[in-house]
Chains A and B, each alone.
Chain A
Amino acid sequence: MLRFERRWAHDVMSSFAPPGGPGLAPDPGRVDFVGALRTQMRASTPLAALGLRLAVWMAALAPLWTLGRLRTIRGLRPAERAAVLARLLRSRLYLVRELTLFLKLAACFALFRVPELRAQSHYDPAQADEGPPAASGVRRRLPVVATGGAP
């Protein structure tokens, strides 16, 4: 990717969960969005890598073709950026929504590499020695070995 494309990629990928929002609101400076995207592109088929690149262009220039505003996504306020992406994810055009989803997944790969963000998500069981909650009606028995979940 060229330098401006890397910048666009960062702008777009950091806009799914913009800073200052409620819930999980990472500091974009702490998340290596572009690194994750590049790893994914390198490991993918040439066609899929091209698709990701196309997705970056499509989403970065979305204000132009969805709002008619002459700017890239960077030129919008954080909440507006997320709104544009949400709109793309709901697009009636199959290619648009699927490419945006592809980028959202790439953004998630980057977000959950950051241990604090992963911890904030409450995905992993609270404490290794406490064990998980059992489904109601299911007898609870702890496994012998720690239930630490994915590290």
Chain B
Amino acid sequence: MTPRWTDEADVVVVGTGAGGATAARVLSEAGLEVLMLEEGPDLRGVERPEQLLEALALTMRDFGSQTTAGPVPMPLLQGRLVGGSTAINSGIVWRLPEDVRRDWVDRFGLGELLEARALERAFERIERELEVTETPLALYGGNNGKMAEAAARLGLPGKPIARNARRCEGRARCLQGCPSRARQSMDVSYVPRAIEMGARLRARARVERIVVRGGRATGVRGTLDDGDRRVPFEARARRAVVVAAGALHTPILLRRSGLRRGVGDRFQAHPGSAVVGRFDEPVVMAFGATQGYEVPLRERGFKLETLALPPEMLAARLPGAGAEWQRRLVELDRYAQWCAQVRFRALGTVRPGWSGRPVVRYVPTDDDLARMQAAIALLCEMMFAAGATEVFPGLGGLPEVLDRPEQVRLVREARLSRRDFHLIASHLFGTACAHADRAHGVVDARLRAHDVERLYVMDASVFPTNLGVNPQHSIMAVVWLAAERLAADAGAMRAAA
């Protein structure tokens, strides 16, 4: 099809999430002409729908219904709008743990990219620019406050969560997009900053294919969604194409463009599962930072966090139907919800399905599930320690409601199968793994594709392993360093030309 819209830039960036927006910000500052292409809508400066249903339909890819394949599906959540998943996330910030950095340097040969001091500099810069601070006590509200109490009572290493939301007002609705634009997601930070520095943004532009000529990426092709019309486009890249479509869509785009070796292998996830507790006194989940308190237990392979839910999701999470459920629905201020994020070790694959959507094959290991079970049991214990009168572990094969602390033993000792867990994952990695050795990686230690020149991958796909912590900050920092290298290379190219 002949393209009806064309554009040209030094660098074409596909996707505007944690990776794409950071790349665009660094490259624009370095003086390169950048074109950002984003499949989802541009909601900057637009009020997001107040109703959860409409908000999710507009911003969450497939309404969160993309799942792993197979008989026990696990939902995989991703944003689909300018800002990517950062525009619907809770703003939690964690630096790449040192043991993970070392592992990536030692086993994957990424020392050139992940030099400790350079990484530290990138983290500091991002934290300054994105206004990262620890959640203040004033924004705990009941949901975070109860977890703080439980951690103190049980002697657990709890702490307020560091978030990129210094001006947060505690409206507990990050999932719908921050109404006060306090959270520095990419749509309110690096995308506008890149634009100020000369970058262009085209939203509702879905890239279908990378154009490769003579073994070199020269641009991309795709379709613009212009309301009721779909318009083919082509964007030429003079220096580089940067793919940052997220861990599920980057491999699909690469495969569609002819790259195969290793692409879509090594899919990994950091799934979560939640426990709800009922208290006799009001908790008022609707006030406080959406996720403001955590208990990191990486040595045990998991991390516990608070997670405020909108009323629709909280109500669906309460057990039963009819009178019992209806009674609960008029006291939604009495509930707290916390979740466990577990560092799963399982490896899966992502491949294009018949409709072009990703097909994700992924089966957690027994050990992964055992750690999830231990984490859920600890959450139940914490709920009782905080004074909950009823706890809902959310596990099949067990009582729906626990009303005595002794019953936590049931959760800890139950023999559970995969079907008994309600898992959900929003931290996804590994599908275009970085490895210095071409035999083992899709991209090298500068995030350049091994098999195609001038093609880069700069998003969560390049992470060789699961971090065990919330990943957005690490994605931004790693991409920051790679984008600086790309800018330097492009400068050299320009000088040579």
Contacts and interface: CB of A to CB of B under 8 A. Distances in A.
Interface of A: 15-18, 21-25, 36, 39-40, 42-49, 79, 82-83, 85-86, 89-90, 94, 97, 101, 104-105, 107-113, 118, 120-125, 131-139, 141-151
Interface in B146-193: 146, 148-149, 152, 169-173, 176, 180
A105 B52 CA distance: 12
A121 B284 contact: no
Interface of B: 50-54, 56-57, 60, 62-63, 65-67, 71-72, 137-142, 144-146, 148-149, 152, 169-173, 176, 180, 281-288, 310-316, 319-333, 355, 357, 387, 396, 400, 419
A25 B142 contact: no
A134 to B, nearest CB: 6
Contact of A36 (B53, B140, B287, B314): B53
B287 to A, nearest CB: 4
A43 B138 contact: no
A149 B332 contact: no
Contacts of A39: 53-54, 57
B315 A108 contact: yes
Given A105-B312, A108-B316, 17 more contacts: A16-B325, A39-B54, A86-B325, A105-B313, A105-B316, A109-B53, A121-B329, A123-B311, A131-B287, A135-B142, A136-B149, A138-B140, A138-B145, A143-B138, A147-B171, A150-B176, A151-B50
B169 A135 contact: no
A40 B62 CA distance: 9
A148 B315 contact: no
21 contacts: A17-B322, A17-B325, A23-B326, A39-B57, A44-B63, A86-B321, A90-B400, A105-B312, A105-B313, A109-B52, A121-B311, A123-B332, A134-B142, A134-B145, A135-B140, A137-B148, A141-B137, A144-B169, A145-B180, A148-B171, A150-B50
Given A23-B323, A42-B57, A101-B316, A135 B63 contact: no
A99 B139 CA distance: 37
Nearest to A138: B145
A101 B328 CA distance: 17
Contact of A16 (B50, B152, B287, B322): B322
Contact of A120 (B288, B312, B330): B330
A12 to B, nearest CB: 10
A150 B171 CA distance: 6
A102 to B, nearest CB: 9
Contact of B329 (A17, A79, A94, A137): A17
A133 B284 contact: yes
B332 A40 contact: no
A21 B145 contact: no
B142 A48 contact: no
Contact of B322 (A48, A86, A132, A146): A86
Contacts of A134: 140-142, 145
A150 B173 contact: yes
A146 to B, nearest CB: 8
A40 B171 CA distance: 25
Contact of B310 (A15, A104, A150): A150
B330 A23 contact: yes
Nearest to B335: A123
B76 to A, nearest CB: 11
A97 to B, nearest CB: 7
B321 A143 contact: no
Contact of A150 (B172, B315, B326, B333): B172
Nearest to B136: A141
A39 B333 CA distance: 28
Given A101-B316, A148-B171, A122 B53 contact: no
Nearest to B57: A43
A118 B400 CA distance: 25
B101 to A, nearest CB: 35
A113 B313 CA distance: 13
B310 A21 contact: no
B327 A46 contact: no
B323 A21 contact: yes
Contacts of A22: 323, 326-327
Contacts of B396: 94, 97
Contacts of A107: 316
A105 to B, nearest CB: 4
Nearest to B145: A135
A150 B176 CA distance: 9
Contacts of A48: 62-63, 65, 67
A121 B141 contact: no
Contacts of B51: 113
